[in-house]
A and B are shown apart, each in its own frame.
Chain A
Amino acid sequence: MVRSRGERLSDIAVYLAMALLALVFLLPILWLLSLALRTQAEVFLGAARFIPEAPTLDNFASVLRDGGFQSYIWNTVKLSALGAAGAVGFAAPAAYAFSRFSFRGKGAMMLGILSVQMVSGLVILIPLYRMLDRLGLLESHFGTTLLYIAAGVPVTIWLLKIAFDTIPQSLDDAAAIDGLSRLESFLLITLPLAAPGLISAFILNLILNWSQFLIPFIMLSADEKWPISVAIFRFAGASSAATTQLLAAACLLAILPALAVFVILQRWILAALMAGAVKD
């Protein structure tokens, strides 16, 4: 195919703009990488030496060997996954009701749920802390997970309602005639067919929870319960320049799983969605 000069020029412009944008996001990560690859001696040179002269993987090795780091990552995995599963689990029946039943005030309720999502966590921080204190749920992963779930449920309801809306109502009718109750039809027909939507919602929650900071920060004061986000923040505040390279390595290692999950599962979601598109 012959392409015109103008087309090629505009392509180049698009690529340039995207490269610039990527650089803005990549720069902090490159800086982290630069620090993480340095020896302690080179850290003191600061920005003057972007590319370390004697790059080393020792920092990664010692972070990975560190029992504390392992525990923080495990806490993050646990809180993120339980929070995401809980959010999907709680949102699914609500989303089904919004998708399938007609009742008074449905539109207003959907908007109400969305507006909850817009309230910043900081605004309700103190009352939330007090409430969980009363309930005796502070300092526990259980209480923290509940808050993760609460934070994820509103947007998840919206996502799942959209997913359920795409499943034809005549399947509900067929299921009813085949003798299924509403609950059975929800579990056996609607949920399996909404699998791509459920998985997308789960992953979105997982990624949001992975970077969750505020909730674990106020809920958990014991070192061994922290997720990685809180741990890094605490160490950054407390540590001297002598451990900067270790902190940088820890940061990179903390981002990695979220990135991997995103890349691997995003392919899966895309495949699932494409399969749905080819069918009718």
Chain B
Amino acid sequence: MASLEIKRIAKTFGAQSVLPGISLEVPDKEFVVILGPSGCGKSTLLRIVAGLEIASAGSVSFGGAPVDHLSPGQRNVAMVFQNYALYPHLSVAANIGFGLRRATLSRKEKRAAVQEIARLLEIESLLDRRPSELSGGQRQRVAMGRAIIRKPAVFLFDEPLSNLDARLRLQMRAEIRALHRKLPTTTLYVTHDQVEAMTMADRVVVMREGRIEQIGTPDEIYCAPQSIFVAQFIGMPAMNIVSARLDRSNSALTIAGERFAMPEFWPDEKALDGEVTLGLRPEHLSLSRTGAGLRANVDQIEPMGSETLVYLYHHGTRLCARTPPETRLASGSEVKLGLNLNRAVLFDPVTQKALYRPNPYESTTGETQWK
């Protein structure tokens, strides 16, 4: 059990700088998911924490003690790999027990430890098999068994579910979370799948090109993104991004000539005047045939069963609205778009950073006000 501290870790491969200097603190027992597009340096960071890769600069500490000089084995970390990396020539029992080779336990105690882990993961009947005789999900469990048997200080996962089919991924997500509840351990979990990040994380770290774009709870990341990158990376479909103009003196927001009333709780700041970029989730757009709102043309609809996604064009900008499942609209038809500005995020069009973010934990049921 230990907290994890990453201090200004940098990594270059030859001339390529993969991590320019990243800092992150993970409190004891927290489950942190590192989320980012592929190639952004997630695995590299994880491997540096594990000791598999040497950082060019910076320091990693477990429980306040630097571990930079320690080999991976001495760091007491456990890692689950994307391809499981089970030893093909060893039985399941031997794979799980492999990490105990050095432990000062009797043969009997080791066997008991393997049994206990196998019971926990419900793979007792597989102990004599070889990895090649297991299904993907079973291999995944053996890989986790090998990781948890040593009671590691820090648990590392590198895209452990990406080789599984959708149904199994759903199940393993829940199982990994359940395991973390049973054996609370500081965990760093790397993925490029936002669903995994949203459903599993205590906190999400969004990475982009070797830098941290935002750290926050899944709710914060989703409702209050710190940049347009995060706004568009998270959410399926992504957040709608629209150019707008704020007029403080008239408390008005104008989008392509259409005027909306500004929510009064938007702070009275100088930055919040003039050109801004408005971010709104698809669930905060509503459709009507007549009435107030932005004029938009339906491009296509995607009935999802539980909801219908409507894609529209508004002055060349493609938008998406999440609507009730029974919505059916012909492509090309004209509709009015209502905006729930209470949930809107405002970005600086130049820096792409957020100027104003709603509080994700404060429910604002206020109706959109039309002018």
Interface residues of A (CB under 8 A from B): 168, 170-171, 173-181, 189, 192-193, 278-280
Contact = CB atoms under 8 A, between A and B. Distances in A.
Given A168-B83, A170-B81, A170-B83, A177 B50 contact: yes
> Residue among A176, A177, A192, A193 with the most chain B CB within 10 A?
A177
Contacts of B132: 278-280
A181 B71 CA distance: 9
B88 A176 contact: no
Contacts of B83: 168, 170
A173 B87 CA distance: 11
Nearest to B77: A177
A144 B171 CA distance: 63
Interface in B24-68: 47, 50-52
Nearest to B130: A279
Given A168-B83, A192-B89, A179 B101 contact: yes
> Residue among A168, A170, A179, A278 with the most chain B CB within 10 A?
A179
B89 A173 contact: no
B137 interface: no
B99 interface: yes
B85 A173 contact: yes
> Residue among B78, B99, B146 with the most chain A CB within 10 A?
B99
A176 B99 contact: no
Given A168-B83, A170-B83, A280-B132, A177 B88 contact: no
A171 B101 CA distance: 16
A175 B101 CA distance: 11
Contact of A177 (B73, B86, B87): B73
A167 to B, nearest CB: 9
Contacts of B50: 173, 177
Contact of B88 (A173, A175, A180, A193): A193
B72 interface: yes
B98 interface: yes
B102 to A, nearest CB: 5
Contacts of A189: 87
Contacts of B71: 176, 181
A174 B101 contact: no
B234 interface: no
A151 B78 CA distance: 44
Nearest to B99: A178
B73 A279 contact: no
A210 B56 CA distance: 52
B52 A173 contact: yes
Nearest to B102: A179
A184 to B, nearest CB: 9
> Residue among A178, A189, A278, A280 with the most chain B CB within 10 A?
A178
A193 B130 CA distance: 13
Given A171-B87, A174-B79, A176-B72, 20 more contacts: A170-B81, A170-B82, A170-B83, A173-B52, A173-B79, A173-B81, A175-B87, A176-B71, A177-B52, A177-B77, A177-B78, A177-B79, A178-B98, A178-B146, A179-B73, A179-B101, A181-B71, A189-B87, A193-B88, A279-B88
Question: Closest 5 A-B residue pairs measured CB to CB?
Answer: A179-B73, A170-B85, A279-B132, A174-B85, A176-B72
Contacts of B51: 176
Contacts of B146: 174, 178
7 contacts: A170-B82, A171-B87, A173-B79, A176-B72, A178-B73, A178-B146, A279-B88
Nearest to A195: B89
A182 to B, nearest CB: 10
A176 B87 CA distance: 13
A178 B101 contact: yes
Given A173-B79, A173-B81, A279-B132, A179 B87 contact: no
Contacts of A180: 73
A217 B51 CA distance: 54
A189 B89 CA distance: 8
Interface in B92-134: 98-99, 101-102, 132
A82 B92 CA distance: 36
Contacts of B99: 177-179
B154 to A, nearest CB: 11
A54 B125 CA distance: 68
B85 A168 contact: yes
A176 B73 contact: yes
A177 to B, nearest CB: 5
Nearest to B83: A170
B278 to A, nearest CB: 45
A245 B73 CA distance: 67
Contacts of A280: 132
A30 B87 CA distance: 50
Contacts of B86: 174
A176 B83 CA distance: 16
Given A168-B83, A279-B132, A280-B132, A177 B72 contact: yes
Nearest to A192: B89
A149 to B, nearest CB: 27
A187 to B, nearest CB: 13
